[in-house]
Structure 1
Amino acid sequence: MAQTATTGTTVAEVMAELAALEDPRIREVNVRHGDDHGVNLTKLRAVAKRLKTQHELARELWATGDTAARLLALLVCRPKAFERDELDTMLRDARTPKVHDWLVGYVVKKSPHAEALRVAWFADPDPVVASAGWALTTDRVARSPEGLDLPGLLDVIEAQMKDAPDRLQWAMNHCLAQIGIEHAEHRARALEIGERLEVLKDYPTPPGCTSPFAPAWITEMVSRQHTP
């Protein structure tokens, strides 16, 4: 097994450490959410902090296919070092929710290929891939909306969100909420779409947390913006 130049850590050693951190109770909870690993994420982040950035080690960890190893890989990789095609392959191979979310949020968003991938993934026939395109679009709605067709996005959400598969529906709903929160000129329409479609209206929300139901989400976040 190849060793990294910095620490001498091998993939086998890291995998053994992750195996030692495995907790059946955590795995049981994660499996209910579609994530097949049993490692406490705080402990996983502590391992990543010790390893620091090691891009080649990250590639080797990703290649194992193990979910905990892939999550660790996403914490120790160098996001800007991945090629566009490599990120596309990784995204299509990332089928567990946590790996998918971390790949998009921690790596792709920081990549120089983020916008090209956003456009490519947005209309992909695979709904899980498309959800990544919507997640990147939502990030742009909040951070750099120039050039986005917000009325056009609302048209697509209005026509497709109600019957979209779960992960894609969730991503579209987030985009709907973000448009309503960030863009006052589109808020009334965003609220109306959310009220009419009723997506996630009955989603169980713990006390003190914001409901993912778009009208409630928009109303809550806008009220916070105007609270002294």
Structure 2
Amino acid sequence: MSEVQAVLEELAGLENPRMREVNERHGDDHGVNLGALRAVAKRLKTQQALARELWASGDTAARLLSLLICRPKEFTAQELDTMLREGRSPKVLDWLVNYVVKKSPLCEELRIAWFDDEDPVVAAAGWALTSQRVVKKPEGLDLPGLLDRIEAGMKDAPERLQWAMNDCLAQIGIQQQSLRPRAVAIGERLGVLKDYPTPPGCTSPYAPVWIAEMVRRQDAGR
């Protein structure tokens, strides 16, 4: 038995029907506990060839595992673009962007390429990478122009793209004091995620509330 077959069998053995049922409500077609998945990744350690084989299997749990054991710097821009367009599970998309693309030297190239893509899932990845730049390296970004785009398009954007644009709006408001009033005003005017159910102790994703809370924490930490 090959190593990839052995790993796929191990993942199949970790399947929990009840967990799959819960995950499928969120669009993630797998039933493997993520803690158990991370334990498998810790044992396997980094293996780029195996990561590629696991991704090629098309299995969602295997793809999540592949993203934990891969070497982000070894993927080409074309490979990462193909993976993004193939990986329709929300959790796979999140891990691909956060664990792999953000650690790639091709991150900025892909941010630019994806930002205006016709596929809203791909565009959402471009916006997620833009939010990272707002936080870490805003120099060179047209921040007022981003606010213009958000104001014009966030209200009617598909769900995943809307979340990514909302994140960017909040980060601009949090990080850029001079643009904070406008960011808050846009959030209030559009009302996106205003009524989103937020568990006790968690911060609402509604941008005006999110911005106010994060700024409060920043000020308290000074």
Please say whether Structure 1 and Structure 2 have the same fold, judged by a TM-score greater than 0.5. Answer: yes
Q: CA deviation at 1:212?
A: 0.3
Q: Which 4+ stretches in 1 moved above 6 angstroms?
A: none
Aligned Cα RMSD in Å? Answer: 0.7
Structure 2 unaligned residues grouped into runs of 5+: none
Matched residue, 1:54: 47
2:24 to 23, 26, 31: 31
In 2, the alpha carbon distance for the partners of 1:91 and 1:145 equals: 24
In 2, the alpha carbon distance for the partners of 1:209 and 1:88 equals: 33
Structure 1 unaligned residues grouped into runs of 5+: 3-9
Write out aligned runs for 1:131-142 (5 A): 131-142=124-135
Amino acid at match of 2:153: Q
In 1, the alpha carbon distance for the partners of 2:208 and 2:48 equals: 42
Check if 1:177 corresponds to 2:170. Answer: yes
Matched residue, 2:56: 63
In 1, the alpha carbon distance for the partners of 2:35 and 2:139 equals: 37
In 2, the alpha carbon distance for the partners of 1:112 and 1:208 equals: 36
Matched residue, 2:117: 124
In 1, the alpha carbon distance for the partners of 2:87 and 2:123 equals: 13
Write out aligned runs for 1:104-119 (5 A): 104-119=97-112
Check if 1:76 corresponds to 2:69. Answer: yes
Check if 1:209 corresponds to 2:191. Answer: no
TM-score when normalising by structure 2 = 0.98
Matched residue, 2:144: 151
In 2, the alpha carbon distance for the partners of 1:23 and 1:148 equals: 45
In 1, the alpha carbon distance for the partners of 2:74 and 2:193 equals: 37
In 1, the alpha carbon distance for the partners of 2:129 and 2:16 equals: 33
Q: CA deviation at 1:149?
A: 0.5
Aligned residues: 221
In 2, the alpha carbon distance for the partners of 1:152 and 1:128 equals: 21
Amino acid at match of 2:189: R
Per-residue CA deviations over 1:33-55 (Å, capped at 9, x if unaligned) read: 01000000000000000000000
TM-score when normalising by structure 1 = 0.96
